[in-house]
Structure 1
Amino acid sequence: MPRRHAPSPPRCPAWAGLTPQQILARYRPGHSDPLQVLEVLLTLFNSQHTAREKIVSHKTRYERASFLRRFFRDLKRKAGFATVPDPRGLRQKHLQAMITVWQQERLAPATVQTYLSFLRGLASWIGKHGLVRSPAAYGMEAPDYQRHENALRDHSWSAQGVGAQEVIEQIWAFDRYVGAALGLILAFGLRRKESVLCRPYAHVQDHGASGRCLRVTGKGGRVRWLPVDSPQRQAALDAARQVVDRTDAPLGDPAHDLRHNLRRFDYVLQRFGLTRAERGVTAHGLRHQVLIAHYEALSGEPAPVRGGDGKDSEARRAVAELAGHARPRASGAYLGGADAKRGETPSAPPRPLTSPRTP
């Protein structure tokens, strides 16, 4: 089935035939409610990706709109401005004031980066490209905004003493859809959403010299082919096939949409104590476990988060490919960092995406 984007929100009938510039010209700065202008901007542009010609997800639209509404209200409530400014009049003083607020509130680095990204999107909508500068330009120190790209500890279930297979069997008895999805994560290292969207019949196809593979579409629409080359992977697919009611059906409960199935997935894991607060693990930690095991099987050495030095650049590249990342260095988010002096070896051929050895 071809990939379909969510439709853009409908425009007001009075806007028919007008360009965005003509529509915005109807709302004169200083005479129109700034928050109303923001809603117009969101209606016109919020469905669009800020850097690519594509439609963004409902989740991104919701989070971006929620942040921007809160940002302009907080300029008055928290940053001390007498009035809420028109979004088209956004200036450096507004950005600096809110960044000072975020520093005082000690927001997480990832949150600061996300907020600045949302503001860059707004700046592009109003034709002020380059308005939002780097965090350092606003006096922020690196720890205030730099994400830790490399894992600092072992997030796997096994590291927390959680037996994956045993727990998955228990969950299967409670909810076979979630149990089957976890089985696919354990076998293939999928993301949560990838496992719920997996079509265990239709997505298994021949892929040239690799033979029978599971076709997985990940973030950014990137497709990867994971060979069905082990009894564990075949067993996970067989179990998932017991759950679906049609050969073209995805793994989630057919009575509900994707959003509901993802919420159900999270609820079931929480019910079984599979949270960071209760047992120190999450569904993503199971993916960490598979990717760490894959590195160790290829390199013959522990991953950095388990005391190794991470010097095998080919194994790190293979982990990134198995995970569905375009950049080899993304493997550090699961394995931990290697010595930067070693670097990557671009000319080295990638290793096949064979089955990981799961602890």
Structure 2
Amino acid sequence: MPRPQQPVRRSALAGLTPQQILARYPPGRCEPLRVLEVLIELYNTQHTALEKTVSFKTRQERAQFLRRFFRDLKAKAGFSTAPDPRSLRQKHVQAMIKVWQHEGLAPATIQTYLSFLRGLAQWIGKPGLVRSPAFYGMAQVDFQRHENAQYDHSWLAQGVLASAIIEQVRAFDGYVGASLGLILAFGLRRKESVLCRPYAHVQEHETLGPCLRVTGKGGRVRWIPVDSAERHQALRLARQMVVHADAPLGDPAHDLRHNLRRFDYVLKKFGVTHAGLGVTAHGLRHQVLIEHYTALTGVAPPVRTDEAVVDKTVDRAARRTVAELAGHARPRASGAYLGGMHSRKQRS
């Protein structure tokens, strides 16, 4: 079992630049995994391509992968020792890709791993080190990702009556049922619904009126108007589950991690999986965003029909609004729910 790495002592590093900190760990004279911990401490909050911080989930997954990557260079890829991270070379990347392919990892997983390695390459001043998947012999059809939804993920499209399932879940577990209700009413993510404080997070917005204040990925805050009977009802049911006005929706007897696991367990129990009913909780979020686009434009989005004709300006504005409702910084992220622009001829 690998020896746990010592955390960086921040008090001893105060006022030093990253370069000065790393200079305290000369290559070849310090354990590679200890140097890696220093790099993670210094840079892991940074986004690979944008001037912003990344979510806690991304930081955790990237750090765990990098630690495993350097251990596996010795354990699986045949290197006698793990290199100092600052000495990472193309041969190390290529060797591990062969290992991943031999292990049968999905191309999308390898693509994610390469993205994590690009981040490390930037940290060590080698931004061009990690190449495209094609450079490593991966066919484009294997690794390409579809940014736009290829089919309608909503419960409605799969013929699943959301209200009936949510009532069944609520009778079994009120917390999970209330979370599903919030997802269906507000288009929240799973974690956002569990963390929602149904009293404290309903606040008066200066222009929108009463809103649910939601803090999403990357700390982005969005305001969702409480402007329908469905949204009022979802909040009312959620409020019945909390023990005091500042409490989050999850079971107070457990922490967030346990409540998220419980959420997944309950949904699986009621068949809310791809293998079961053919839907997931995230499909409720798709449903809300698709219906919002339809209300804004008067037509169904491309993921539901290829027949509609919609003005490009109207389409772009609607997509921007949908992205904001979903809590995404980029308008094009709406394509993950709506599909690409209508393929039929559009009015310009």
Question: 2:45 touches 2:54 (CA, 8 Å); kept in 1?
Answer: yes
Q: Distance in 2 between matches of 1:228 and 1:318?
A: 16
Name 2:265's counterpart in structure 1.
Answer: 267
Return the letter of the residue paired with 1:45: L
Alignment counterpart, residue 144 of structure 1, candidates 142, 145, 152? 142
Name 2:340's counterpart in structure 1.
Answer: 337
Alignment counterpart, residue 326 of structure 1, candidates 325, 329, 344? 329
Question: 2:307 touches 2:344 (CA, 8 Å); kept in 1?
Answer: no
Q: How many residues align?
A: 336
Q: Distance in 2 between matches of 1:309 and 1:79?
A: 52
Name 1:277's counterpart in structure 2.
Answer: 275
Return the letter of the residue paired with 2:337: Y
Q: Confirm whether residue 11 of structure 1 aligns to residue 8 of structure 2.
A: yes
What percentage of aligned pairs have identical amino acids?
A: 70
Name 1:169's counterpart in structure 2.
Answer: 167
Alignment counterpart, residue 154 of structure 1, candidates 144, 152, 155? 152
Q: Distance in 1 between matches of 2:162 and 2:319?
A: 24
The SS at the match of 1:212 is strand
Return the letter of the residue paired with 2:85: P
Q: Which is further off, 87-96 or 97-106?
A: 97-106
What displacement does 1:36 show? 4.0
The SS at the match of 1:243 is coil
Return the letter of the residue paired with 1:48: T
> Normalising by structure 2, what TM-score?
0.83
Q: 1:344 to 1:238 in 2, by over 3 A?
A: farther
The SS at the match of 1:158 is coil
Alignment counterpart, residue 48 of structure 1, candidates 36, 45, 51? 45
Q: Distance in 2 between matches of 1:31 and 1:122?
A: 20
The SS at the match of 1:306 is coil
Q: Distance in 1 between matches of 2:200 and 2:242?
A: 11
Return the letter of the residue paired with 1:11: V
The SS at the match of 1:61 is helix
Question: 2:302 touches 2:341 (CA, 8 Å); kept in 1?
Answer: yes
Return the letter of the residue paired with 2:33: L
Q: Distance in 2 between matches of 1:254 and 1:96?
A: 47
Return the letter of the residue paired with 1:147: R
Name 2:231's counterpart in structure 1.
Answer: 233
What displacement does 1:285 show? 1.0
What displacement does 1:164 show? 0.8
The SS at the match of 1:59 is helix
**1:45-84 alignment runs, 5 A limit:** 45=42, 47-50=44-47, 57-84=55-82
What displacement does 1:246 show? 1.8
Question: 1:178 touches 1:265 (CA, 8 Å); kept in 2?
Answer: yes
Return the letter of the residue paired with 2:323: A
Return the letter of the residue paired with 1:235: Q
Return the letter of the residue paired with 2:200: A
Q: 1:213 to 1:39 in 2, by over 3 A?
A: closer
> Normalising by structure 1, what TM-score?
0.81
Name 1:5's counterpart in structure 2.
Answer: none
Return the letter of the residue paired with 1:324: G
Name 1:37's counterpart in structure 2.
Answer: 35
Return the letter of the residue paired with 1:197: L
Task: Specify every segment of 5 or more residues in structure 1 that has no aligned partner in the other structure, as ranges.
Answer: 1-8, 346-359
Q: 1:18 to 1:241 in 2, by over 3 A?
A: closer
Return the letter of the residue paired with 1:337: G
Q: 1:12 to 1:206 in 2, by over 3 A?
A: closer
What displacement does 1:184 show? 0.7
Q: Distance in 1 between matches of 2:98 and 2:198?
A: 50
Q: 1:224 to 1:127 in 2, by over 3 A?
A: same
